[in-house]
Amino acid sequence: MHVVFLDRATLAPQTQLRPLPFEHTLETFDHTAPNEVASRIRNAHIVITNKVRLTAKAVDGAARLRMVAIAATGTDNVDLRACEARGVVVSNVRDYAGHSVPEHTFALIFALRRSLLAYRDAVRAGRWLESRQFCFFDFPIHDLAGSTLGIIGDGALGRAVAQMGRALGLRILFAARKTRSDAQAGYVPLDTLLEHSDIITLHCPLTAETRHLIDGTAFARMKRRPLLINTARGGLVDEAALVEALRSGVISGAGFDVTTQEPLPADHPFQAILSHPAFILTPHVAWASNEAMQALADQLVENIAAFYEGRPRNVVAAVATAVVTEAITGIPTSTVTAR
């Protein structure tokens, strides 16, 4: 079995990858450019990728490919239809950052709600000495208790954020999905959430339906000048519209850990607000506590081992791959199940 890891540098050096429990060769690259993908996976049976994009063309050119192991939860970098057509199993890593992402979310909320970075920068610039008293009030400070937190996305991360919010005295609203009844406690239409929330935080996947979910029209519905927090995916928000909303005072602040293009290019709209006192941008690290990264690495290896043993798990594409798996492992197709 030949295994190729296309972007090992997306995991911190201290993160340990346990050896795979079967005979294999492992080829590891810190980074892989788009024009290098096809040649690097051409002879691979298993490809590991975090953010490197696997197109249909690249998948079709890898005749031996049997599994794509995504070292993340998001699957939008892999052409799932191409994998399904080829009988290639795609597995992702799930529920590994249940503490890291919610804690980062609230770090952004606290920092913005209390203007922590703005006050820190003012102190560095000598403003405290200029004030000639024990404190100064250049930036707003608000308590969280009694405010309304609107959460878009009610998966594990959204629910964890809700639990933390309730402990801090926040009123919780969830954006109702089409599959859920508005009558369920705390679930309201998206427009209602936008109108009544003091803080809005995104924890939903990026799909065709959710791309630019927060756009100019959505900002216009935000009546309470909320904070907008995004630790999910950059494409969920129209970034140019966000810049305008922040500058015009439609929102009181924004904390983002993700952007549509990463790393942030020189011509990105956010470049114009990086020094804004109510804007915080972190480099896609909400998930990246040491503990979360090690949990991710451990689950990644478990996913690959489970596939090799004929019981693929965390499958997001090509569920019915018994024949393919048998061809690699020798395990009879009758024993192969997906979970």
Check if 262 is active-site.
yes
Q: Is the peptide bond prior to 263 cis by the omega test (within 30 degrees of 0)? A: yes
Q: What does the angle CA 45 – CA 49 – CA 81 come to, to the nearest 5 degrees? A: 75
Phi/psi of residue 179, nearest 5 degrees? -85, 0
Catalytic residue among 113, 233, 239, 268: 233
Report which of 8, 158, 157, 5 is spatially closest to residue 94, judged by C-alpha positions: 157
Burial class (CB in 10 A: 0-12, 13-18, 19+), 148: middle
Nearest one of 181, 156, 191, 159 to 172, comparing CA atoms: 159
* CA–CA distance, 77 with 331 (Å, rounded to integer): 30
Residue with tokens 């992402």: 101
Q: Which listed residue (262, 291, 311, 313) is catalytic?
A: 262
Q: In what order do the strands lie in the sheet with 315-317?
A: 25-28, 2-5, 46-49, 67-70, 89-91, 315-317
Could you give the strand order of the β-sheet that contains 253-256, starting from the edge strand earlier in sequence?
A: 187-188, 171-175, 148-152, 199-202, 227-230, 253-256, 279-281
Asked if residue 187 lies in contact with residue 174, where contact means CB atoms within 8 angstroms, the answer is yes
Concerning whether 23 is annotated as a catalytic residue, the answer is no
Dihedral pair phi/psi, residue 190, rounded to 5°? -55, -45
User: Given 284, 311, 313, 326, which residue is catalytic?
Assistant: 284
CA–CA distance, 321 with 50 (Å, rounded to integer): 23
Q: For the CA atoms of the chain, what is the radius of gyration?
A: 23
Instruction: Reply yes or no on whether 291 is catalytic.
Output: no
Contact 118, 277 (CB under 8 A): yes
Q: Return the active site residues.
A: 233, 262, 284
